[in-house]
Structure 1
Amino acid sequence: MNSFCLAATAFILLFCLSSRRVDAVEHGKNIIDIHCHTAGIGAGGSGCFVSPALQNSWKYRIYLKAFGVTEKELQKEGDSLILRRLSEKLAASQRVAAAVILAMDGVVNDAGELDTARTEIYIPNEFLAREVRRYPNLMFGASVNPYRRDAIQRLEKVADGGAVLVKWLPSIQHIDPADKRLVPFYLKLKELGLPLLTHTGEESSFTRTRDELGDPERLRLPLSLGVTVIAAHAASNGRNCGERNHDRFLRLSQEYPNLYADISALTQMNRLGHLLRLLNHKELHERLLYGTDMPLLKTGIVSPYAFLFRLPPAKLLAITGIENPWDRDVALKEALGVDDVIFTNVAALIRMPARIAKLISSKSNGGRQ
């Protein structure tokens, strides 16, 4: 490459990065990530665990690297290290102010107790609720398997502990959202004002799944009872009963105004085209929520260059050059057509702790109180 080409490339890069900084200042730091994961191996008495099958999988090392930790570091400092690293990286973001960190309950046996033999990953509510209070930019997303013997009491406890939502991953927790035995659980969710964030579509992050439980049609029961339901990933992959899950989600969204969806994971290379297809439904924009599915953003499955034929080279270069994963994700989704309404919907949906509301207000006003 000759000197002229080098100079031209440098000029384009500097121009694009300068534009990005201006955009960040203009927009302010007021975005909430509603879909952010943590993990743990039980270090420091956390109570977390990862199944032997998942630890022996090639995915395990990738996840540790994406979280920015090693197994040795976790053994030395405890599982709370992952939350500290998440908070620090989030604090460095110019656009995203806070994130909902998700607990993960396990599979439950016939006696209504945790079945560790069939559970792939477990992140207890008690550990997460305690740890997120230490950070000004993290919120508690609880997880309660409704088949637990004391599920209602657990719901009340996590609500008292500051939970802003309840998270399910039915295909690995073996939860059937359409099971009529769950009606009391749903009514308690509604009473407590806790949204249900539940995975929809296929699941590929674990070693075994029951993907039929991710069928969005199974959400009719909680929706009919008035529960606020958030379909994680907008059912963007897989099929059930001969239909695309996404089409089944769209039909439900027309019937139930209490059905929302997050846009996490929709820029992954295994979901190309899904975000653009979803954004075509303008009537849904006020019910779409920003999320990242962190740490998957940092596993190599998301790249701006996957959109080489949709975005101009200068824009791709600028986005690729953004170091912070949240800022890079926001910039990519903005370039693909995600509007300000979608980026700010989360704040209007969840009951934010006072410390988070204050943080959002401060960051939105350039740090001025």
Structure 2
Amino acid sequence: MSPATATPVIDCHVHLVGNGRKGSGCWIRMSGWHRWLGGFMAKMIGMPVSFEHEEFDAAYVSRLADFVKESSADQILLLAQEEVYHEDGTKRDFGSFHVPNDYLFEVCSGNPAFLPAVSIHPARKDALEELDRCLAQGARALKLLPNCLDVDCSRPAYDAFWEKMAEAGLPMLAHTGGEMTVPVANKLYQDPRYLERPLEIGVKIIAAHAASNSSLWDEDYFDVLVEMMRRHPNLYGDSSALNTPVRSSAFAKILHCDLADRFVHGSDFPVPVGTWYARMRGLVDGPARAEAASIPNLIERDLRLKKSMGFPEGHFTRVGEILRKVG
């Protein structure tokens, strides 16, 4: 942990997951590739039970708490996961997992290192009421995956939602770029240009994954993101899930970008953290790679690799200036 007097080191992108077998309200519905990947991620973080076990929810929170306590991170931004809705506000039967805001707040109340990032689809008929409720409970940010939740952030119908977020100082952590870990509802919305409207209204936005491509078949929007950042001082990017085969190409772009101080640290836990990708791209040397590979704690491994690449201290603390202030 960093010294108590120092600015907190915050991992801004950590997922809460649960199956709801003991009343959390969560659900997991994975098949095919996503089911295999979910099992692989559970194995990578050393889960003592499968994601179908009735004790999975408690075991996941316990494992996560241990990882944070044993890492260099002081706090994590913990993410809820909204369900998918049609534009008329009716729920759509789509997606691989759901984590309600109520469960998020319950988990965060039990650990001061967990900062709550709620998730609300703006097409919900009660979206404004839910946003008010979450603000009253201390939400620090809002997490959306526009391409996976089918959210066209450019719709004028959502303006009141963005206005309330902007007024409250609640930033949005928005997925940008391709996606492989959860099903995609509308690939169009991986383009960060769909975030222009909430940005113009005044919402602070952190573009997750630096708008990089997750596979060779995805478009890389990094240059688009940087151009948008020049026009919008309230737009940031995060470095989450970049220690993966394709996304790792974004590391050098961030480090050599003249707006590098607008990017913040995130791991995307429990997404696997590979060590060879940074080594093969010449970003770390052999001993640094080997040291990181010896760390089973993925939160710490991701952080350690980035420090070895040369990311400055501000990269790991800056998000504290962006999150909504509470208390």
TM-score (normalised: structure 1): 0.80
Q: Deviations over 1:300-321 (max 9, x none)?
A: x511464144433233233333
Residue pair 1:38, 1:103 contacting (<8 A) in 2 also? yes
Q: What's the CA shift string for 1:37-74, capped at 9, x where partnerless? A: 12111121011112253697322211332443355586
- Asked if the contact 1:83–1:132 (Cα under 8 Å) also holds between the matched residues in 2, the reply is no
Contact 1:44 1:75 in 2 (8 A): no
Query: Is residue 120 of structure 1 aligned with residue 96 of structure 2?
Result: yes
1:361 aligns with none
Q: Deviations over 1:76-127 (max 9, x none)?
A: 435133122101111011x211101100101113552433x22322110011
Q: Between Structure 1 and Structure 2, whose CA radius of gyration is higher?
A: 1
CA distance in 2, matches of 1:341, 1:353: 22
Q: 2:324 aligns to what SS in structure 1?
A: coil
Return the alpha-carbon distance in structure 2 between the equivalents of residues 289 and 235 of structure 1. Answer: 13
> Shift of residue 265 of structure 1?
1.2
Q: Percent identity?
A: 29
State the shift of 1:225 in Å: 0.8
Task: For residue 79 of structure 1, give the secondary structure of its aligned residue in structure 2.
Answer: helix
- Whole-angstrom CA distance in 1 between matches of 2:130 and 2:26: 17
Secondary structure, counterpart of 2:76 in structure 1:
strand
Q: Return the match for 1:311 from 284, 291, 294.
A: 284
Aligned pairs for 1:143-222 (under 5 A) are: 143-222=119-198
Following superposition, the deviation at residue 258 of structure 1 comes to 0.5
| Structure-2 separation of matches of 1:122 and 1:212 | 22
Summarize the alignment of residues 336-347 of structure 1 with structure 2, pairs less than 5 Å apart: 336-347=309-320
The answer on 1:80 being equivalent to 2:58 is yes
> How far apart in 2 are the matches of 1:303 and 1:76?
33
Structure 1 window deviating more from structure 2 (270-279 vs 191-200): it is 270-279
Q: Is the 8 A contact 1:29 1:97 kept in 2?
A: no
After superposition, where does 1:169-318 map in structure 2 within 5 Å? 169-237=145-213, 244-282=220-258, 284-296=259-271, 299=272, 302-304=274-276, 306-308=278-280, 309-318=282-291
Does the aligned pair in 2 maintain the 1:80–1:131 contact within 8 Å?
no
Q: What letter is aligned with 1:313?
A: G
Question: Greater relative contact order (Cα 8 A, min sep 6): structure 1 or 2?
Answer: 1
Amino acid at match of 2:268: D
Equivalent in 41, 51, 73 of residue 96 of structure 1: 73
Q: 1:306 to 1:260 in 2, by over 3 A?
A: closer
Q: Distance in 2 between matches of 1:51 and 1:304?
A: 31
Mapping for residues 57-72 of structure 1, pairs under 5 Å? 57-69=35-47, 71=49
Distance 1:77 1:352, change over 3 A: farther
CA–CA distance in structure 2, aligned partners of residues 202 and 42 of structure 1: 28
2:236 and 2:263 in contact (8 A); partners too: yes
- Tell me the distance in 2 between the aligned counterparts of 1:34 and 1:195: 12
Alpha-carbon spacing, 1:130–1:55, altered in 2? closer, same or farther (3 Å) = farther
Query: How far off its partner does 1:173 sit?
Result: 0.5
Q: Is 2:144–2:172's contact at 8 Å kept on the other side of the alignment?
A: yes
Whether the aligned pair in 1 keeps the contact of 2:177 and 2:191 (CA below 8 Å) is: yes
Instruction: State the distance in 2 between where 1:184 and 1:29 align.
Output: 34
Aligned equivalents of 1:318 and 1:110: distance in 2?
Answer: 48
Unaligned stretches of 5+ in structure 1? 1-20, 355-369
Q: Which runs of 4+ in 1 moved over 4 A?
A: 70-74
The structural deviation recorded for 1:145 is: 0.3
1:176/1:293 CA distance change after superposition, 3 Å:
same
Deviation at 1:243, TM superposition (A): 7.1
1:327 deviates by 2.4
Give 5+ residue unaligned stretches, structure 2: none
What SS does the aligned partner of 1:186 have? helix
SS at match of 2:152: coil
Equivalent pair of 2:116/2:139 in contact (CA under 8 Å):
yes
SS of equivalent to 2:31: helix
Deviation at 1:140, TM superposition (A): 0.8
CA contact (8 A) 2:81 2:143 kept: yes
Name 2:23's counterpart in structure 1: 45
| CA-atom RMSD in angstroms | 2.7
Q: Distance in 1 between matches of 2:37 and 2:60?
A: 17
Q: Report how many residues are paired.
A: 324
1:322 aligns to 2:295 (yes or no): yes
* CA distances 1:209-257 after superposition (whole Å, capped 9, x unpaired): 4221110111110111111011001101179xx9741121111011110
One-letter identity of the residue aligned with 1:106: E
